[in-house]
Structure 1
Amino acid sequence: MEKTLPIICSDEWLRPAEGEINYRYHRYLQRLNDIEHNVGSLFDYANAHLYYGFHYDSYAKGWWFRDWLPAAWEVYLFGDFNDWERFQYPLQRDQWGSWSVFISDEQTGGRLAHGSLVKMHVRGADGQYLDRIPAYIRRAVQDEVTKDFVGQVWHPAEKFDWSDDHFDLASIESLLIYEAHVGMAQEKEGVGTYKEFEEVVLPRVKKLGYNAIQLMAVAEHPYYGSFGYHVSSFFAPSSRFGTPEELKSLIKTAHSMGIAVIMDVVHSHYVKNTCEGINRLDGTDDLYSPIIGEHPHWGSKLFNYGKQEVQHFLLSNVKYWLDEFHFDGYRFDGVSSMIYHHHGYSDFTSREAFFNDTVNRDAILYLTLANKLVKEVKPSAVTIAEDVSGMPGMAVSIADGGIGFDYRLAMAVPDFWIKYLKDVPDEEWNIWEMWNILSNRLPNVKTIAYCESHDQALVGDKTIAFRLMDKEMYFAMERDSKNLAIDRGIALHKMIRLLTITLGGDAYLNFMGNEFGHPEWIDFPREGNHWSYKHAQRQWSLAEADYLRYIDLDRFDAAMVHLTRNYHVLKSGYGYNLLNDNDNKVMVFEQAGLVYVFNWHGEASIPDYRMPVPMAGKYKIILNTDDAKFGGFGRVDKDSEFFSFTETSPEGHQYHFIKIYCVSRSAIVLQYCD
């Protein structure tokens, strides 16, 4: 009799779906066995980038170039090395549809070299001749005049020196992630660079206490306004921000600071452009896509995860970034879109939604293989799933029958805060609902909590700060300004973050600038704003100006993050509820040996508020959102000490209490002092 998978044993709710879960697991084992039988290992299988693309043969003194174009009729390589003569260097096709050519240094007089600009000239299955960028190109650059992209041979004479990069993500206890976009991380109205990010932003991240950055828009994308989510060249870091070596330097410097670097990888779709990307590269619609291969909502092309050559391409891409650039893991974008044929646009209130014919089994197989590969290449690396559906097993180990992600994003948490801030008056905020939303996660599924990410910072949405304070931020953030909306906004901004980081999960994420309530949304250069970079930036100077109140939020975020690290809050599991007083909007709970007290009431500050504590003794304040240095009113003496008293129930049980001044719209963190 077949042994029941641990994922089923640990969750009886999944018992009716055991057959489908077993099928997925055995399908993975079969595919892995096929790979190992034919190649030797998954690790060796994921080496397409070491075969395709440009590779210099130092023995034969020349370049091999290869690409996979099974339906093409003719393929040529050309570029500035041969004065853009399209038909001089034809490629030869093998029986599997791979095309190749060897071009010696003697043939070109050494002109084909590092930095050469190149393209393929392809006569596709449709009979058309088109100039194309190779699928495995490692750098693509944009012509400043024509704005066209072209491939570039990238093979520096000196390899980047990683010899003193000894960082290991295993040294980080709990992830505190600073989500960032290199191009928009600068104060100037323009595109930021890898070097500027290394010099300006990394020290800021370090000072705030975050121990990981999550980089968006790494892989090349033709339209800047896609935020990096319409990828064209999957093996090329975006040239807008600098060279591949400058990206490596950024990562190496981050590692020297004890900061991990996670890549926001996009394997959920790819750009439709035929001039820059892989769409119709051999003249067919289904080279990398299924026959019906367009994403109905994103204006992009889908991947056919069941096609072995597509698995080969994507798995090699997974290995490439870890190996070549020393990334410490991935946040997989659009996982819900990948694993359902309806792309996540459905209702997920029943078990059947996860185990029916709308599920893309091929995508689940691919993601399971990808997670397996990540651990083989870099055992300490992490993978994060952006899955709104809550697919069972997403962040359960492969050995236990899951898909193998280390973390899933708690996407319901920002949705909850948006709903409250948009639709629920302060006096109707429900303490129990807050508690339940932030605690509603499976104990064996590691979750990344966040109040807001880049999604809320884009035009068309609003950050928490902007929802709270709106236009008042433009004229009432000076320290001597008196404004009730600003006072409320600053108070709730801190409380929402503190509650989320403390109760919401096993890791925490913040989008750059949101920690200090950045007042501007992100709007890309586009025709509608006259191609302006005015809103594609971060105004760090606001968080450094003593006369503005942004600095108060910045200081609080740093204090909150450092407290979370110092007291190991994120690894402490679920909070223990001591009191939820919905009438007074007061929440009291214990987490990591600390006592947290939140008063969400808009007006009621309660003297001598009697509240339970876990043990008898003295308590002192170690963090107070109402502290004047964090933009509060300083209504509670930071040096206050609270001594417990004991009461005995009729049943003889002893309970311990303290009395505090429980001030409105504030939170304090208390530490037990023996």
Structure 2
Amino acid sequence: MRLRGPQPTLLAADPAGSSRAGGHTVNAPDPRATAGLGDLDLHLIGEGRHEQLWRALGAHVRDGGTSFSVWAPNARSVSVIGDFNAWDGNAHALEQVDGAGVWSGFVPGVESGTTYKFQIHGADGIWRQKADPMAFHAELPPETASRVFTSTHVWQDDEWLAQRARRQPVNEPMATYEMHLASWKRHPDGTFWTYDELADPVTGLPGYLADLGFTHVELMPVMQHPFGGSWGYHVTSYFAPDSRFGDPDGFRRLVDALHQAGIGVILDWVPGHFATDEWALVRFDGTPLYEHPDPRKGWHPEWGSHIFDFGRNEVRNFLFANAVYWLEEFHADGLRVDGVASMLYLDYARNDGEWVPNKYGGHENLEAVQFLQELNATVYKRVPGITTIAEESTSWPGVTGATSGGGLGFGFKWNMGWMHDSLGYLKREPVHRAYHHGELTFALVYAFTENYVLPLSHDEVVHGKGSLLRKMPGDRWQQLANLRAYLAYMWAHPGKPLLFMGSEFAQDSEWAESRELDWWLLADPAHVGMQSMVRDLNARYREVPALWLQDNDPAGFAWIDANDAGHNVFSFIRKAPEGSGEPDLVCVTNFANSTHGFYRLGLPRAGRWAEVLNTDAESYGGSGVGNLGELVAQEAPALEARAPGGSPAYAILTLPPLATIWLRAPAAG
């Protein structure tokens, strides 16, 4: 480890409230007063229930200087070092505050922008220089110090927040664009766009996403991380936005601009494990403070990282306060919690003998369960209208169930089963799909057991998996047609659609974090057509409440024909609530590479049905086969067998090859 400045001598606290450094006595006022720490703060820290922990700990500019406070209960001594004292650990010793393991002090003259670390003499006798766990800002990697930071941003999103507080995300339209800030766009010299460049209402994210009609953007972790190749999932500073793109107020301006454009902001958040860098959280005070001391519970063998000690009150407090911080201080609209499955199971990625059963002999991590319930109960209480989303890939019951009933309390769960099954089906040549028809229909067996997000995320387009386009079989025209049909099928399916950046214009190569997307593809009409179709998908999606008002209710869905494997056709109804006056929507997908003419489709009502979307439209790059914008459904004759699926009406239509069509019901009456 590279230490800045001279090595300190051992500091010993004086009973009279002074400290001795190098033979000199430095008078120290009451550390609680200078740090702004009250008795209630210390009580809540000790109980592990300080919901705004960042206001009590860390670096805060006050009259004439900055107060510093840090939790290091087992340290022998703590000093603050920085540019202001030539990184001299003898200059500014902190005093231990009784009862909560907190060290505090005040340094005159220190202002916002100052670089600092904590010099800690650990319980193991080793001196360490540590970044502040509560730092609001961090140095640009590869430098590792923290920066004092005071926000001056004035928010302009009051109207957005007021509307958000009245919403219930499960019953709202939610089409999410997942993205990695560093590789969306770059300058010609390869440098990153800054937060302010990304916030530009015309050339940046707000204009782009509003034009395409996405309701939300999900940002892969923006918390400070030293290694860009981790994509942000190995965090070192949980309270600091990534300094590669600017300062924390730059990130506030980005969120503000997105809100003013009508775009919600979801942040990827990683409470399951943390980075191994020795200048960060690891053995912070000379003991395994944040990580579990038993490597069978404190080390992640798959990801090579440390696992938080979920059984420790102060550690759980650090994490759920961090969640509140991003929601309150940065106005985030939701948190997507990474790796929930790895938190729930003690034997995750472990062989027999490498894990410790819980007190009942099972493999469930009861302490992590308690943390997740505490997390969700806390954030939903404090910030109305937000949502939490679990990346959870197992059959754990009640992920989105209420905590009062033993559930984990999340707003949504990623539907990894739907993703695996549907991609498995789509990668097959159409001639073979009839034998795998159930891979698409199976998702409806469990579609309403949780509130689901349908994720086509970054994980599906890296590490040799190829882009979504390259997963599709056939020549280039067929690949594009398959992808268009698949996305329209997905948008109509129960669950909230999520699409990783680049797929909206059919990115050809798989994603790499080291370069920008292949924007040059938009010189090709076929890729412009894909982007145009996604724009129309989102527009129709917002316009048809049947697609989202009952998204988590089986009453909102019915198959027309789930069994037409011979034609590779799937047809279903998305139903509007009874009495709402809103029209139903029918989705029909032909995953065969041939046109089905004179196809008899059961429909719930006679009358003129509007074809509001056809992925085979020429404007999207398709062949232009369709139904001239509408079709007429007739009552099924009384003496004749009812229409397919037992429907009371039917229509004869043309199903284009490798295409999805959406049909909007005629007006009632």
Query: How does the TM-score come out when normalised to structure 1?
Result: 0.82
User: Hey, what does 1:473 align to over in structure 2?
Assistant: none
| Stretches of structure 2 lacking an aligned partner (at least 5 in a row) | 1-39, 576-583
Task: Go from structure 1 to structure 2 and tell me whether the alpha carbon gap of 1:406 and 1:42 turns closer, same or farther (over 3 Å shift).
Answer: farther
1:343 partnered with 2:348: yes
> Match of 1:644, SS?
strand
Q: Counterparts in 2 of 1:523-534, with a 5 A limit? A: 523-524=512-513, 533=514
Q: Counterparts in 2 of 1:249-264, with a 5 A limit? A: 249-264=253-268
Report deviation, 1:338.
Answer: 0.8
> Match of 1:50, SS?
helix
User: Hey, what does 1:186 align to over in structure 2?
Assistant: 185
Report deviation, 1:255.
Answer: 1.1
The correspondence for 2:421, drawn from 401, 416, 422, is: 416
1:116 partnered with 2:128: no
Report deviation, 1:445.
Answer: 2.1
Q: Residues 516-536 of structure 1: CA distance to partner in whole angstroms, max 9, x if unpaired?
A: 111232334xxxxxxxx3xx3
Structure 1 Cα separation of the partners of residues 482 and 666 of structure 2: 28
Contact 1:339 1:361 in 2 (8 A): yes
Structure 1 Cα separation of the partners of residues 435 and 173 of structure 2: 30
User: Hey, what does 2:173 align to over in structure 1?
Assistant: 174
Report deviation, 1:194.
Answer: 1.4
Moved more, 182-191 or 327-336: 182-191
> Match of 1:583, SS?
helix
Contact 1:620 1:671 in 2 (8 A): yes
Report deviation, 1:101.
Answer: 3.8
Amino acid of the residue matched to residue 139 of structure 2? Answer: V
The correspondence for 2:137, drawn from 110, 114, 139, is: 139
Contact 2:72 2:103 in 1 (8 A): no
Moved more, 332-341 or 73-82: 73-82
Contact 2:388 2:410 in 1 (8 A): yes
Structure 1 Cα separation of the partners of residues 48 and 627 of structure 2: 59
Report deviation, 1:654.
Answer: 8.3
User: Hey, what does 2:625 align to over in structure 1?
Assistant: 635
Task: Go from structure 1 to structure 2 and tell me whether the alpha carbon gap of 1:345 and 1:620 turns closer, same or farther (over 3 Å shift).
Answer: farther
Contact 1:396 1:444 in 2 (8 A): no
Report deviation, 1:425.
Answer: 5.8
Q: Counterparts in 2 of 1:437-456, with a 5 A limit? A: 437-441=442-446, 443=448, 445-450=450-455, 452-456=456-460
Aligned residues: 594
Q: Residues 132-168 of structure 1: CA distance to partner in whole angstroms, max 9, x if unpaired?
A: 111111111126xxx2211111124x35345745434
Task: Go from structure 1 to structure 2 and tell me whether the alpha carbon gap of 1:516 and 1:369 turns closer, same or farther (over 3 Å shift).
Answer: same
User: Hey, what does 2:243 align to over in structure 1?
Assistant: 239
Structure 2 Cα separation of the partners of residues 409 and 42 of structure 1: 33
Report deviation, 1:649.
Answer: 4.4
Report deviation, 1:435.
Answer: 4.2
User: Hey, what does 1:27 align to over in structure 2?
Assistant: none
The correspondence for 1:402, drawn from 398, 407, 413, is: 407
Moved more, 302-311 or 282-291: 282-291
Q: Counterparts in 2 of 1:14-413, with a 5 A limit? A: 39=44, 45-58=50-63, 61-96=64-99, 98-105=101-108, 110=109, 112-142=110-140, 147-156=142-151, 158-162=152-156, 164=158, 166-167=160-161, 168-169=163-164, 170-171=166-167, 173-188=172-187, 189-199=190-200, 200-275=204-279, 277-292=280-295, 293-343=298-348, 357-413=362-418
Structure 1 Cα separation of the partners of residues 506 and 139 of structure 2: 35
Structure 1 Cα separation of the partners of residues 100 and 74 of structure 2: 7
Query: How does the TM-score come out when normalised to structure 2?
Result: 0.83
Identity of aligned residues (%): 26
> Match of 1:399, SS?
helix
Moved over 6 A (4+): 40-44, 344-347, 650-654
Report deviation, 1:399.
Answer: 2.4
Q: Residues 82-118 of structure 1: CA distance to partner in whole angstroms, max 9, x if unpaired?
A: 122232111222344634343342xxxx2x1110011
Q: Residues 154-192 of structure 1: CA distance to partner in whole angstroms, max 9, x if unpaired?
A: 124x35345745434345622211111222121433323
Contact 2:272 2:343 in 1 (8 A): yes
Structure 2 Cα separation of the partners of residues 554 and 578 of structure 1: 29
Amino acid of the residue matched to residue 673 of structure 1? Answer: P
Report deviation, 1:128.
Answer: 1.8
Task: Go from structure 1 to structure 2 and tell me whether the alpha carbon gap of 1:115 and 1:598 turns closer, same or farther (over 3 Å shift).
Answer: same
| Stretches of structure 1 lacking an aligned partner (at least 5 in a row) | 1-34, 470-483, 525-532
Q: CA RMSD in A?
A: 2.9
Amino acid of the residue matched to residue 404 of structure 1? Answer: G
Moved more, 440-449 or 45-54: 440-449
